[in-house]
Amino acid sequence: MTPTLHLYNTLTRRKEAFAPIDPANVRMYVCGPTVYDRPHLGNARSVVVYDVLYRLLMRLYGKEHVTYVRNITDVDDKINAAAKANNEPISALTTRIEGWFHDDMAALNCELPNKEPHATAHIKQMIRIIEQLIDKKYAYVADGHVLFAVASYKDYGALSGRKLDELIAGARVEVESYKKHPGDFVLWKPAEPDDDPSSVFDSPWGKGRPGWHIECSAMSTTYLGEDFDIHGGGADLMFPHHENEIAQSRCALPGSHFARYWVHNGFLTVNGEKMSKSLGNFITVRDLLDKGVKGEVIRLALLTAKYNEPLDWNEKLVHDAKTTLDKFYRYLDTWDVEDEISPHVIKALMDDLNMPRALSIVLSIENASVVVSTLKFLGFLKSTPEEWFKGDGVDNEVENLINQRIAAKKAKNWAEADRIRKTLADQGIILEDRPDGTTDWRRA
């Protein structure tokens, strides 16, 4: 019997059996990047975790029956500040960072979501929700801002488990005098006189831009409907971001439940502290790739802890992940047949995405072709062994000898060509001459 997928739901604080609203269209929304800086390993952890969940959902329900939406936040105060600091137009910054985000996540073998909506392309939908909230008295206009009145929604705080009067303690909420309640949050804010025009939009409340939370409510419901299955993001987004998304979505769309299962990934930490831009303790994915750490090594390192527990980043994590993958790639040559994915690995993932257990099972599987199929399903083994081991130091030497051999063959110096072939064979390098005159190499 196939086990049922169980996910820890932050909303109910327990592991629940996952039952999609419509198995023919399983719908997941994940908060995507705010495109003002190159993604760091903490951001990457979030993307990699949901990539595994997406792969599992596709496996369980069929690729055509899963819709994964991850937004691009391309309007935000942090973007305005970064563009100003760089002295460049906002669109130049956001386009560049979005490209980098895609490059870096592709290097980690993350699948693209089915839809990646941009906040700036959904201002109309945001305005529509804000209008509904004002009409229904859940929101009010004050000092050029539109604010959501948290006291008007009785279940406010249900996701994060905070009570209204405790809300402010420890949370980063701005307390301005025009707010009726200090926890009230911005749905729309007025433009500043020196704002880049590309971050200024017309609205019934004057020129300005949307608050961050309303962006996700608008983009998720536009593509997934008022009720959908899974909403994901990092644990830092639980409050206020996700709490606010729930409040404004349910109030604007009465009778809707919004997302059913709230999944939160744990923090990637450095010496126990959350990796973040503001603490300055971050390492970007690009930093590591440039140092020659392979994308799959980073991916594996990020998946070694349970997704909803903290994971401390250190050199050993990278070293161990590389050793494991080197071992798999070394044997890859003998594994050319694709096989079934290990049911034990699927079973581990069905138990709230237990990747550490899944990985330890992979290491104990004896049938090599099952190992290959399972690792490919998990987003590994995208390279050939040749590509994998190239760049590991010895290859320059190998390439040099191959070039000398090609020169020897051109000069019809067959003895020399054979001598070089033998030298390399003694080092475990096998040459394959191709019809176009080039030579490929691989390890024996």
Residues 236, 320, 339, 395: which binds ligand AMP (CB under 6 A)? 236
Residue placing its CB nearer to Zn ion in the complex, 250 or 405 = 250
| Strands 227-234 and 14-17, bridge-based pairing | unpaired
Judged by CB under 6 A, the chain residues 346 through 385 that form the site for ligand AMP are: none
* Residue 30 or 56 having the CB closest to ligand AMP: 30
Residue with tokens 């980043």: 313
268-270 and 311-312 beta bridge pairing? parallel
* 251 is a site residue for Zn ion (CB under 5 A): no
Interaction of residue 33 with ligand AMP, rule CB under 6 A: yes
Distances (CA, A) of 191 to 170, 203, 217, 417: 28, 11, 21, 72
Q: Please, what is the minimum distance in Å from the beta carbon of residue 219 to Zn ion? A: 8
Query: Near ligand AMP by CB under 6 A, which window of 28-36, 321-329, 391-399, 420-428?
Result: 28-36
Task: Name the residue nearer to ligand AMP (CB basis): 45 or 145.
Answer: 45
Do residues 69 and 113 touch, judged by C-beta distance below 8 A? yes
DSSP string, 38-74: --BHHHHHHHHHHHHHHHHHHHHH-GGGEEEEE-BB-
Q: Kindly state the smallest distance separating residue 115's Cβ from ligand AMP, in Å.
A: 17
Among the listed ranges 209-217, 357-365, 373-381, 421-429, the one in contact with Zn ion (CB under 5 A) is 209-217
- Which tokens in the block code for residue 81? 């500040």
Single-letter amino acid code for the residue at 53: L
216 touching Zn ion, by CB under 5 A: yes
Bond preceding residue 385 cis, omega within 30 of 0: no
DSSP string, 273-333: EEP-TTTT---BHHHHHHTT--HHHHHHHHTSS-TTS-EE--HHHHHHHHHHHHHHHHHGG
Whole-number minimum distance, CB 241 to Zn ion, in Å?
Answer: 6
Q: Which stretch binds ligand AMP (CB under 6 A): 21-29, 179-187, 234-242, 382-390?
A: 234-242
- Does residue 159 interact with Zn ion by CB under 5 A? no
* Residue 216 interacts with, from Zn ion, ligand AMP, none (CB under 5-8 Å by kind): Zn ion
**Which of ligand AMP, Zn ion, none lies near 46, with the C-beta cut-off 5 to 8 A by kind?**
ligand AMP
Shortest approach of ligand AMP to residue 294 CB, angstroms? 21
Q: What is the largest CA-CA distance in the chain?
A: 89
Q: Which amino acid is it at 361?
A: I
Position of minimal CB gap to ligand AMP: 234
Within positions 263 to 292, which residues make up the interface with ligand AMP, using CB under 6 A?
A: 265, 267-268, 274-276
Give the separation between CA 186 and CA 141, rounded to whole angstroms.
10
CB of 47 to ligand AMP, least distance (A): 7
Q: How far is CA 305 from the centre of its chain?
A: 16
Strand partners, 209: 189
Task: Single out the residue of 29, 2, 443, 411 nearest to residue 219, CA to CA.
Answer: 29
47 versus 251: smaller Cβ distance to ligand AMP = 47
Residues 18-47 that bind Zn ion (CB under 5 A): 31
Residues 357-386 that bind Zn ion (CB under 5 A): none
Among positions 38, 45, 55, 242, the unique one binding ligand AMP when judged by CB under 6 A: 45
Q: Is 42 in the site for ligand AMP (CB under 6 A)?
A: yes
As given in the structure block, the two tokens for residue 85 are: 């600091």
Per the CB < 8 A criterion, the answer to whether 231 and 249 are in contact is no
194-233: which residues touch ligand AMP (CB under 6 A)? 233
Rounded CA gap, 390 and 384, in Å? 10
User: Which residues of this chain interact with ligand AMP, rule CB under 6 A?
Assistant: 31, 33-34, 42-43, 45-46, 233-234, 236-237, 265, 267-268, 274-276
User: Which residues of this chain interact with Zn ion, rule CB under 5 A?
Assistant: 31, 216
